[in-house]
């Protein structure tokens, strides 16, 4: 039986089994436990008032804990990253499959404060949202997932505050990785496809598969031309071949040669079969591993990048990544860290490392633990008033 209704024996066991407990002080554990229990409860909005309902601590204490209380959040972050590396790299060694380093960014939208606001939320600014096709106010998170042989786990989430470029953030994460045991891949959108980033990944045994902007310069036949301009010269369907990816058919032309700041790579110029030659339908992709003979294999690799979009959706819908109301930048970073811990625990709870399955399992377990605590409390002669005081 749990000592308190605000504890979860199951979560403690999962933290201990994965060597995460060693990175959490006894003082911090009570607060982190309250946040995790709330994250796996119905109606979670990421607000301290929600967390206080599942804690014996006041919401102002929870806010102080996130903002500036002294606890080693960096130790927890490093322990989580080491755990993910051990699982993914271990799977690569066992299966011989490549490791996929998936990177992307997302915006947690916030209300633009009035110029008269005395205490505006820290570190928020305007970022261009590709989803909304306009500038969006809030916090931008650069996130990384590691994947191998169907196992995909969240590895890092870093606040982009414009003091350090997104490219440099990812470079730092890459430099801290062990070398890949098998030829592996960086999967990214066009924002992260640049020579200096790909060079860092190459030293760790990672090729790059990414999207290309239509203005990237190629050198077919020694002539300088951008992707969209070159695509216009490929007006005959006969120059393309059909590739099927995730059940959808595309016309694909394969270019192999030089790009600006890249000596040699494969570029795939693609149109959906139903929209051949339409400029708005044009998509292009790069692969620095020129030994990959199959265009279908390149495109299927890139399709795995979608996993991080699902991760963003799950974190926003289930773990309140876009609903929190925390003012301090340090508090937000710590909140993101504990959100990442919740996501990782849910994945580890599932035999197939499926977040939704693990989330449902932990939610049900916590609910059962609460009913069991109430039953045992009453059975052992506990007073109703004492029980109500715990949950008030």
Same domain flag for 281 and 333: no
Q: How many domains does the chain have?
A: 2
Same domain flag for 278 and 236: yes
Please determine, for residue 320, whether its predicted confidence score (pLDDT) is greater than 90: yes
Q: Which two tokens stand for residue 278?
A: 């339409």
Q: Among 277, 294, 311, which residue terminates a domain? A: 294
Q: Among 294, 315, 346, which residue terminates a domain? A: 294
Q: Which two tokens stand for residue 189?
A: 């959108």
Please determine, for residue 392, whether its predicted confidence score (pLDDT) is greater than 60: no
Q: What is the mean pLDDT of residues 267-281?
A: 95
Predicted pLDDT at 257: 94
- Cβ atoms within 10 A of the Cβ of 369, count? 19
CA distance 298 to 210: 9
Please report the beta strands in the chain, taking only residues with DSSP state E, as ranges in sequence order.
100-109, 125-129, 134-148, 151-160, 184-188, 206-212, 217-218, 225-226, 241-245, 248-259, 262-272, 283-287
Q: Is residue 315 part of a domain?
A: no
- How many alpha carbons lie under 13 Å from residue 25 in its C-beta half-sphere? 10
Q: What is the mean pLDDT of residues 92-109?
A: 97
Over residues 256-270, the pLDDT tens digits come to 999 988 889 999 999
Same domain flag for 223 and 289: yes
Q: Which two tokens stand for residue 304?
A: 């795995």
What range does the domain containing 334 cover?
9-72+326-391
Same domain flag for 264 and 337: no
Please determine, for residue 23, whether its predicted confidence score (pLDDT) is greater than 90: yes
**In the structure, what pLDDT confidence band is assigned to residue 116 with cuts at 50, 70 and 90?**
low
Predicted pLDDT at 207: 97
Same domain flag for 212 and 278: yes
Q: Is residue 89 part of a domain?
A: no
CA distance 191 to 62: 37
- Cβ atoms within 10 A of the Cβ of 332, count? 22
Please determine, for residue 69, whether its predicted confidence score (pLDDT) is greater than 90: no
CA distance 98 to 292: 13
**Which range has the worst mean pLDDT, 41-50, 331-340, 362-371?**
41-50
Same domain flag for 289 and 330: no
Q: Is residue 368 part of a domain?
A: yes
Q: Among 294, 311, 343, which residue terminates a domain? A: 294
**In the structure, what pLDDT confidence band is assigned to residue 58 with cuts at 50, 70 and 90?**
confident
Q: Is residue 223 part of a domain?
A: yes
């Amino acid at each position: 039986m749990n000592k308190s209704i605000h504890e979860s024996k199951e979560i403690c066991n999962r933290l201990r089994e994965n060597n995460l407990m060693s990175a959490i002080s006894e003082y911090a554990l009570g607060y982190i436990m309250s946040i995790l229990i709330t994250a796996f409860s119905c109606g979670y909005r990421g607000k301290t008032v929600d967390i206080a309902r599942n804690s014996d601590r006041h919401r102002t204490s929870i806010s102080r804990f996130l903002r500036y209380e002294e606890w080693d959040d960096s130790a927890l972050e490093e322990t989580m990253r080491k755990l993910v590396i051990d699982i993914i790299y271990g799977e690569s060694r066992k299966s011989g499959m490549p490791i996929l380093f998936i990177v992307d960014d997302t915006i947690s939208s916030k209300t633009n404060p009035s110029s008269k606001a005395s205490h505006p939320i820290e570190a928020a600014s305007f970022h261009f949202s590709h989803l909304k096709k306009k500038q969006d106010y809030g916090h931008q998170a650069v996130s990384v997932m590691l994947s191998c042989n169907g196992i995909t786990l969240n590895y890092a989430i870093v606040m982009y505050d414009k003091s350090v470029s997104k490219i440099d953030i990812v470079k730092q994460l890459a430099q801290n990785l062990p070398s890949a045991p098998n030829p592996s891949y960086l999967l990214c959108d066009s924002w992260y496809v640049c020579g200096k980033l790909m060079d860092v990944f190459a030293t760790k045994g990672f090729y790059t598969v990414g999207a290309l902007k239509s203005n990237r310069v190629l050198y077919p036949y020694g002539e300088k031309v951008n992707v969209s301009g070159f695509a216009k010269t490929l007006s005959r369907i006969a120059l393309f071949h059909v590739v099927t990816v995730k059940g959808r058919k595309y016309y694909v032309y394969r270019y192999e040669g030089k790009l600006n700041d890249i000596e040699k790579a494969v570029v795939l110029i693609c149109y959906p079969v139903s929209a051949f030659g339409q400029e708005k339908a044009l998509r292009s992709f790069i692969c620095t591993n020129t030994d990959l003979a199959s265009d279908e294999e390149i495109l299927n690799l890139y399709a795995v990048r979608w996993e991080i979009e699902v991760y963003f959706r799950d974190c926003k819908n289930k773990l309140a990544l876009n609903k929190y109301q925390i003012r301090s930048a340090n508090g937000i970073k710590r909140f993101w860290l504990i959100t990442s811990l919740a996501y990782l625990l849910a994945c580890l709870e599932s035999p197939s490392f499926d977040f939704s399955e693990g989330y449902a399992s932990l939610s049900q377990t916590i609910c059962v633990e609460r009913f069991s605590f109430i039953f045992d409390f009453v059975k052992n002669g506990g007073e109703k008033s004492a029980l109500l005081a715990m949950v008030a």
